[in-house]
Amino acid sequence: MTATRVLVLNSGSSSVKYQLLDMRDASRLAVGLVERIGEQTSRLKHTCVTSGDTHERSGPIADHDAALKAVSEELAKDGLGLDSPELAAIGHRVVHGGMFFTEPTVIDEEVLTEIERLIPVAPLHNPANLTGIRTAMALRPDLPQVAVFDTAFHTTMPESAARYAIDTKIADRYRVRRYGFHGTSHAYVSRATAKLLGKAPEDVNVIVLHLGNGASASAVRGGVCVDTSMGLTPLEGLVMGTRSGDLDPAVIFHLQRVGGMSMDEIDTLLNKSSGLFGLCGDNDMREIRRRMDEGDEQARLAFEIYIHRLKKYIGAYYAVLGTVDAVAFTAGVGENADFVRAAAVAGLEGLGLAVDEDRNARRGDEARLISPEGARVAVAVVPTDEEMEIATQTYALVGKAA
Ligand code: AMP
């Protein structure tokens, strides 16, 4: 029997998201989530896609090991257990791969050590990703385990885009440069956009706007990323749900010297209580829309700041690319919020950008064009699928090695 299944694991500090896919036809077999690991109120939600059955379990799940064992039990109930000979590999999302990992990589001790070495630049994410990997390796030591890095797609950025204008010696010593994140999404969406246009990825220039709770933009020339809005960490760039995005670095000195805040407090402020949430107390775009409709001025201003930044990035990446074939909206906000898409391109007719009102208002799960017929630049909604991208990259690598 040929092994064609790939389990995709996205391990956070207190959660594990997973999907089991069959790469024969790129179909999803099971999806699920374990939340609040380590607490008394842990919860596992598992859906067998083929039968449509959903099971939920609540009660303490002590650690990632227990979480993965619980996932394995749920999968086994559907005849999809982790001990199945049909499982070809496990693909892990790893947030930070630095400059070292430019491609998906089969995990061995050396790879684990390098991911560990990157913890100082990804203190929240890489330790959790490593825990997930180690747990899965202990469970199936015989199986190839592949790391797919959020940063990898952006390693093609030229030095002119990747470097900050600071002392090179210091930047190199501390590995301070722009890495970019959400890379699997930008890779998937830029390719899917080319497909929607009926072209090869090499033949199109695309601006991808990944607008979720975290948000980033990228400029992709002929399938290759040439710039992206996130930097050393996912804090730089667009206004996000709770992150500030771009700001004058002197704000930090000011808050420390004049405001008496500690570095940890400023870190928390900029990452957890800024962005839309900091501006108006809500980070969900649906709620912001509802409040704007009721005439709430604070919500309106938060929205305007969000859109202003987004427009600046569209303009900047237009200039970086020179010619643009498509602007693609993706992730929770990008896929669902027609009013964000309309506002983002409003007034950009001079750049060939516009949305058709009816097309923009239409909902759906498929990639679709929302620009008017015959538009110079296509504007598209392209649902992202990071798990499918991780599974595809994992399976391609394992298939090559076999
Ligand atoms: P993500 O991080 O990609 O899961 O996106 C999550 C965000 O998408 C939420 O915080 C909401 O702001 C936004 N979102 C989800 N559904 C909608 C919707 N129907 N309309 C507007 N925004 C939405």
Same domain, 86 and 206: no
Same domain, 338 and 214: yes
Q: Residue 249 burial (CB < 10 Å; 0-12/13-18/19+)?
A: exposed
Pick from 210, 284, 365 the residue to mutate for probing ligand 1's pocket: most ligand atoms within 8 Å of its CB.
284
Same domain, 214 and 356: yes
Catalytic residue among 22, 78, 150, 338: 150
Q: Is 212 annotated as a binding residue?
A: yes
Whether 224 and 171 have beta carbons less than 8 Å apart is answered as no
Neighbouring C-beta atoms of residue 75, cutoff 10 Å? 23
pLDDT in tens, the chain (402 residues): 589 999 999 988 888 999 999 999 999 999 999 999 989 999 999 999 988 999 899 999 998 889 988 999 999 998 888 888 999 999 999 999 999 899 999 999 999 999 999 998 888 788 889 999 999 999 899 999 999 999 999 999 999 999 999 999 999 999 999 999 999 999 999 999 999 999 999 999 999 999 999 999 999 999 999 999 999 999 999 999 999 999 999 999 999 999 999 999 999 999 999 999 999 999 999 999 999 999 999 999 999 999 999 999 999 999 999 999 999 999 999 999 999 999 999 999 999 999 999 999 999 999 999 999 999 999 999 999 999 999 999 999 997 555
What is the count of structural domains for the chain? 2
Alpha-carbon dihedral of residues 302, 206, 94, 388, nearest 10 degrees? 110
Neighbouring C-beta atoms of residue 139, cutoff 10 Å? 17
Residue 177 lies in a domain: no
Residue 277 lies in a domain: yes
Our answer to whether residue 53 is catalytic in this structure is no
Same domain, 269 and 128: no
Residue 308 lies in a domain: yes
Q: Is 332 annotated as a binding residue?
A: yes
Pick from 336, 341, 362 the residue to mutate for probing ligand 1's pocket: most ligand atoms within 8 Å of its CB.
336
Residue of the nearest CA to atom 4 in ligand 1?
Answer: 332
Same domain, 210 and 141: no
Q: Ligand 1 center to residue 167 CA distance, Å? A: 39
Same domain, 142 and 208: no
Q: Is 335 annotated as a binding residue?
A: yes
Same domain, 100 and 19: yes
**Ligand 1 site, CB within 6 A:** 212-213, 241, 283-286, 331-333, 336-337
Whether 345 and 379 have beta carbons less than 8 Å apart is answered as yes
Continuous segment of H or E residues that includes residue 210 = strand 205-211
Same domain, 229 and 96: no
Same domain, 131 and 204: no
Same domain, 208 and 130: no
Q: Is 248 annotated as a binding residue?
A: no
Continuous segment of H or E residues that includes residue 398 = helix 386-401
Residue 207 lies in a domain: yes
Neighbouring C-beta atoms of residue 264, cutoff 10 Å? 8
* Degrees, nearest 5: CA angle 246-322-315: 35
Q: Ligand 1 center to residue 349 CA distance, Å? A: 27
Q: Ligand 1 center to residue 303 CA distance, Å? A: 14
Residue 380 lies in a domain: yes
Residue 184 lies in a domain: no
Same domain, 310 and 370: yes
Same domain, 364 and 216: yes
Pick from 10, 213, 282 the residue to mutate for probing ligand 1's pocket: most ligand atoms within 8 Å of its CB.
213
Buried b (16+ CB within 10 A) or exposed e, 167-185: eeeeeeeeebbbbbbbbbb
Which residue range forms the structural domain that includes residue 81? Answer: 5-149
Q: Ligand 1 center to residue 295 CA distance, Å? A: 21
Residue 58 lies in a domain: yes
Closest CA to 158 of 134, 132, 178: 178
CATH at 131:
3.30.420.40
